[in-house]
Amino acid sequence: MKLTIVEYPDKRLKEKSKSIEKFDKELHKLLDAMYETMVGSNGIGLAAIQVGHAKRALILNIPDEDDEQSIDTLIEMINPIITQTSGVTTYQEGCLSVPSFYEDVERHENITVNYQDRDGNTKIIEADGLLSIAIQHEMDHLEGILFIDKLSYSRRKKFEKEYKRMQKEKKLSKS
């Protein structure tokens, strides 16, 4: 089922998500619905809070070299923890909860992450490139942090101005 994406400035995006203890059918249903919602919205990453569930679950589907997105490369992370980091990298990020705005954000270049899969099995992944950036972006959602919260004061001001103008245009086009 395709779910509704929670968009900024909705307060729910500031909530800290809770650890998952039950790896049951309800969790699997949520993960499946998150996948449908993400792919249907042209996303490459989504955290549960973005569909209104304050649970420590996120999904990632990074396109391959041919820019193809395949369910075979879908990663589901439950209760992820970053255990190692190195290097610094910058990428122009976006977010399904902050549509049509993109800005440079600094992240760790390489990370090691411990997490659980949908059945509760412990996994370890070493990530670099876009996957590393995407994991850090989605893990911030679990803490109630958006990429726009990481911008400098002046870039945040630029965002607020652009976003308010966009929302007005959206309303006008509907009336």
* Catalytic residue flag (residue 138): yes
Identify whether 9 is preceded by a cis peptide bond (ω within 30 of 0). Answer: yes
CB of 151 to ligand QAP, least distance (A): 14
Binding-site residues from annotation for Fe cation: 95, 137, 141
The correct pick among 43, 80, 132, 140 for binding ligand QAP (CB under 6 A) is: 43
CA angle at 89 for the pair 131 and 45, rounded to the nearest 5°: 30
Query: Cα(161)–Cα(165) distance, rounded to whole angstroms?
Result: 6
Token reading at 101: 């705005």
| Binding partner of 133, given ligand QAP, Co ion, none, CB within 5-8 angstroms per partner class | ligand QAP
Q: Is there binding between residue 58 and ligand QAP (CB under 6 A)? A: no
Query: Cα(103)–Cα(147) distance, rounded to whole angstroms?
Result: 8
Q: Is there binding between residue 49 and ligand QAP (CB under 6 A)? A: no
Tell me which residues touch Co ion (CB under 5 A). 95
